[in-house]
Structure 1
Amino acid sequence: MTVALAPQAADLKIDWAAMPTYNTIMAVAAGVGLLGLVLLARDLVRRPAEVDTDGWALNFGVLGGILTATGLHMTLTWPLAAGGFPFDNIIFGETSLGFGVLLLAAALYLWRRGAALAATPDPLQVLVRVARPLSIFAGFLGGALVAIAVAGIKYQLFAAPPQEPISGEFAEWPLVEAIFMSGLLGLVGVGAIAFPFALAAAAKGNRGSLAAKVTGGSWVITGTAFALFGVMNYFTHIGLIVNTM
């Protein structure tokens, strides 16, 4: 996830005091959060007696706190960067805020009801019933991600300037990173859209539905990709700052 700057001349200078960016930690937290949801569901199916709900509550609480704090700040600060890229507020801020609050809700539930949940004969079925109302919001948030993906390709967003290491190698072809980032966001959205249908099928006893496979598969792929991309961007963003100070 890169700073949304169009390719500039070799002498590009940026006033970083007026250009805050922290979508590095947001990408890592979002990626790990997606993976965590899938892993929790998998463990509840395969080995429910071994699930430590306190551990998962801590996990989702930490990740949700990061995404809610950074997403809320980015959502309410227009534009976050004085350089003027307000679409970043929508693309990264609002989506991170929505996902962060959902993770905090999961953390709160597991913290307060985790012991009682673990004592039930079928904890996954209980979670399915609890999560179904919130899955509606998750589904529409997925639709928003698909819309962002379409906008990313249409307007060729996400292009890095040539001063940014690695990503900047594609500065002459802005559509490359636009397709990559839009593809990741769109695939997360597809999984989120399928999520309420997966829960509806699971509530009827069909835990291996097509919707469940779409949600799980898409979130494993994109969660891993986002986390690794965020890790890489700790290098690329530092390099961009050093090269444009």
Structure 2
Amino acid sequence: MNELMLAAQDGLKIDWTRMPTYNTIMSVAAGAGLLLVVALGYRLLNGHAIVSESWALAFGVLGIILFATGLHMTLTWPLAGQGFPFDNIIFGEPSLAFGTLLLAAAFYLWKRGRQWEETPDRPRTTAMLSGPVSLFVFAMGLACLAIAAAGWKYTLFAAPPEEPISGEFADHPQLEASFISGLYVLVGLGALFYPALLRRRSNTTAWIVGTCWTLSGLAFLAFGALNYFTHIGLIINTM
């Protein structure tokens, strides 16, 4: 799959000076962001107290990470100069989109959070504020489903044998492809139901969005943390 990776007698060799990779921090930040969005939505729908400045700080930290890394990966074509230009689309563009949304939420909560906290009907106000941007969320949901379909069709995401843990399944490339594609399906489904949640605020729709983003958030966070070990091992094993 990678013509510029040199398969020497002692195994796979990668020129890491031409293969920058930081989807580790992107995955952790995206997972944490999804979980925090669900947590804020839960508190909002159930009438719990919300300190807007604390949520603004949390969204701002994660938004900066995802915006910066996603923007760099999106505009640097291809970032991975050894045969993986599709990573720019798969990881860079969704991270840029999510990071921008988090930064917008952080900015609003920081500037207008106190007024928002004192609003008599916060769910309705939030729905009105989020209504226009929900079109973009819906569109990115469709994009996530398209990424998932590409992952299955072209067997993307499979780790080489030199990568610890994930490489144990190198002979079964559809396994990891199905895992990552499945996460994109969950994120996409949550995004598709998000506009409906804003309009109706039904328990069923809230459960669907919350479940999809909670499961995918936990998986992205845990998988990204695990990749700090597996990616370091891959680099050492292929230098």
Q: TM-score scaled to structure 1, two decimals?
A: 0.92
**What is the letter of the counterpart of residue 230 of structure 1?**
G
Q: Which of 217, 226, 236 is matched with 2:230 structurally?
A: 236
Q: How does 1:34-73 map to 2 (within 5 A)?
A: 34-48=34-48, 50-73=49-72
1:160 and 2:159 are equivalent in the alignment: yes
Q: How does 1:75-90 map to 2 (within 5 A)?
A: 75-90=74-89
The equivalent residue for 1:222 is: 216
Q: Secondary structure at the match of 1:12?
A: strand
Q: Distance in 2 between matches of 1:52 and 1:226?
A: 26
Q: Distance in 1 between matches of 2:45 and 2:30?
A: 23
Contact 2:80–2:87 at 8 Å: present in 1 too?
A: no
Contact 2:148–2:184 at 8 Å: present in 1 too?
A: yes
Q: Mark the runs of 5 or more structure 2 residues left unpaired by the alignment.
A: none
Q: Distance in 2 between matches of 1:154 and 1:63?
A: 31
Could you tell me how far 1:244 is from its partner in structure 2?
Answer: 0.7
Q: Mark the runs of 5 or more structure 1 residues left unpaired by the alignment.
A: none
The equivalent residue for 2:139 is: 140
Per-residue CA deviations over 1:77-115 (Å, capped at 9, x if unaligned) read 111011121100000000110111011111011111100
Q: Distance in 2 between matches of 1:47 and 1:123?
A: 9
Q: Distance in 2 between matches of 1:74 and 1:54?
A: 30
Q: Identity of counterpart residues, as a percentage?
A: 59
The equivalent residue for 2:182 is: 183
Q: Secondary structure at the match of 1:133?
A: coil
Could you tell me how far 1:134 is from its partner in structure 2?
Answer: 0.6
Q: How does 1:107-146 map to 2 (within 5 A)?
A: 107-146=106-145
Greater mean alpha carbon deviation, residues 106-115 or residues 118-127:
118-127
**What is the letter of the counterpart of residue 225 of structure 2?**
V
Higher relative contact order (CA 8 A, sep 6+): 1
The equivalent residue for 2:29 is: 29
Q: Secondary structure at the match of 1:60?
A: helix
Q: TM-score scaled to structure 2, two decimals?
A: 0.95
Q: Distance in 1 between matches of 2:179 and 2:86?
A: 18
Could you tell me how far 1:43 is from its partner in structure 2?
Answer: 1.1
Could you tell me how far 1:47 is from its partner in structure 2?
Answer: 4.0
Could you tell me how far 1:122 is from its partner in structure 2?
Answer: 2.1
1:106 and 2:100 are equivalent in the alignment: no
Could you tell me how far 1:54 is from its partner in structure 2?
Answer: 0.2
Q: Distance in 1 between matches of 2:47 and 2:93?
A: 35
